[in-house]
Chain A
Amino acid sequence: MYKKNNTLLLYSIIYFAFLYIPVMLLPIFSFNDAIHMVFPLKGFTFKWYDQMIHSSRLHKALMNSIKVGLVASVFSTFIALLAAKAFTRYKVRFHQLSYGAILLPFVIPEIIIAVALIVIWTGMGFQLGLVPVTISHILFCTPFCLLILISRMEGFDKNLEEAAMDLGENAWGTFWRVTFPLVLPAVIASLLLSFVISFDEFILAFFLSSSDQTLPMYMWGQMRFPKKLPHVLALGAVIIVVTSLLVIISYWLRNLGNPSGKKSKIGGI
């Protein structure tokens, strides 16, 4: 509607730099041949990456994070898919209330959820570990998955489902043969994003996992030792590249073959 505004454009570019420079520093220093992250840069080296690959505790933490992430993403996507179907296809009594309740874990400070789960989990006499971490991650990821899936379910023509019903498919057949293929890109996007969220999550894991470290906890533990720092930077650089790729793929999937032709409504999330 407006033509040009160079002040705002300049501001946007500066803000853009503010957003990206801190993130880019880690990969830059991960190739720097020095222990401390100070300017000027010394030489170029791969040795921190070498050190990272050969750390066995890191491997264990990585496997823990992958396990938790896979279970959490599958469960939260499945739970959210069923809920998204209910919210978009049926008249739900107390719609706002149920919707709000399911989205609530997204806004409550994580530390409060973590502390509450410690109280109930240890109160029941269980050991802290990866199980309560996974449960808390499912709780935390489900709202994201629900928002992604609802925007896709609202995006396509409901007549397609009605046509299938008219042609004699039952509800289950309609869901698997018509609805599911249409929402599949969003399902994959939801799996990827919830995996990324769980993989990066620190607070819940920190409170609930006791000795079973996840990757963010491993990094947290190493950050205190200056000598260990460079290989954390190398690890951080790899994580940044991989998660960015996963997120870009999921953005692309969400707009892929969007039947209504509309771009996804809520942009990023």
Chain B
Amino acid sequence: MINTWRKLFSKHESIRAYTLLSPALILVILAMASPLLLMVLTSFHTQVSMMEIDSTLTLDRYADFFSRPVYSTLLFRSIKISFLVTLVTLLTTYPLAYYIAFYVKKNKMLWIVLMTLPFWTSYLLRVFSWRVILGHKGVINSALMFSGAIDEPLSFLIYSQTAVVLTLAHAWAAFAILPLYVSLDKIDKSLLEASYDLGCSKFQTFWRVTFPLSLPGVIGAILIIFIPTVGDYVTPQLVGGTDGRMLSNMIQSLFGRANNFPLGAASAVLMLLSVSFVALVVTYITKKVSLRMS
């Protein structure tokens, strides 16, 4: 038995490879795929009482979700906020990645390290510091009042969708800088010179050569920021207020105080589906655009 296994092992590269991969794949299957499948299954069940769940399959939870306007409102708001976060993050970090890739000559790594370092410090603390900055008795208001610029604290700073977008754009910056920098840095510099030699202006070179070539980085950044931020819980909870509440806050209460696992599971499934759909559409459009441009 052991001998046949040994023979197979030394003969087939695939078997060796999959033996090495098995711990990782088992982890993904047991700790991610099966829980997700069970979650999908639970979304077809009914919560009868505190502890009891009726496992007759039904689509009622999805009907519940769409019949109560608050759920779909929160879902659309989550998608809208993530979309804005992705857009703001891309627009603000692109010039930076561009600068590091094309203008910084010495110590490029140092720049990258400095730009990504805040990302490693506790996410909770970073969001919390925005709460402190934007709050009614916060840093901005107290500083403005101390300097005499205002008499009353500005109340629009915190507890809004804008506050959520700003905080998330700060928190996810590193995830945009890295892929953008990598794709910009890879661009063959002789292509840019060729474009100049052929009479293109700096602007034209950017739009016709640099930008299309950096699109893989743009797509990477979009996916890596858009998908996780749709499910963000901490930021809306700390700086969102009622206006900035997102679907994940609702999911949390369904699995907590409201104790309705099936409806919580249905909400999570719909979040996952819509985020995958939007991500696919964005990738598709970006690819089409890049084809047309080049």
Contact = CB atoms under 8 A, between A and B. Distances in A.
A37 B128 CA distance: 12
B137 A38 contact: yes
Interface stretch (B25-33, B62-70, B283-291): B25-33
A103 to B, nearest CB: 9
A119 B24 contact: no
A188 interface: no
B96 A102 contact: no
B228 A109 contact: yes
A8 B95 contact: yes
Interface residues of A, number: 86
B112 A268 contact: yes
Interface string B149-183: 00000000000000000000010011000100110
Nearest to A219: B124
B142 A200 contact: no
- Chain B, interface size category, equals 35 or more
B70 to A, nearest CB: 18
B32 A113 contact: yes
B189 interface: yes
Interface stretch (A53-61, A134-142, A160-168): A134-142
Contact of A38 (B119, B142, B182, B230): B142
B57 interface: no
Contact of A138 (B27, B98, B228): B27
Given A83-B21, A116-B268, A105 B275 contact: no
B32 A244 contact: no
B179 to A, nearest CB: 9
Contact of A135 (B31, B137, B170): B31
Given A109-B228, A116-B36, A102 B24 contact: yes
B251 A115 contact: yes
A16 B114 contact: yes
A2 interface: yes
Chain A interface, >50% SS class: helix
Contact of B121 (A109, A200, A223, A268): A200
Contact of A123 (B38, B117, B255, B271): B38
Contacts of A11: 95-96, 99
Interface string B252-268: 10010000010011001
Interface of B: 13-14, 16-18, 20-21, 23-25, 27-28, 31-32, 34-36, 38-39, 42, 92-93, 95-96, 98-100, 102-103, 108-109, 112-126, 128-130, 132-133, 137-139, 142-143, 146, 170, 173-174, 178, 181-182, 189, 192-193, 223-224, 227-234, 238, 248, 251-252, 255, 261, 264-265, 268, 271-272, 275
Closest 4 CB pairs of A and B: A109-B231, A268-B116, A38-B142, A116-B35
Interface of A: 1-2, 4-5, 8-9, 11-12, 15-16, 18-20, 22-23, 25-26, 29, 36-40, 78-80, 82-83, 85-87, 90-93, 98, 101-102, 104-105, 107-113, 115-120, 123, 135-136, 138-139, 142, 146, 193, 196, 200, 202-203, 206-207, 216, 219-220, 223, 236, 239-240, 243-244, 247-248, 251, 255, 263, 265-269
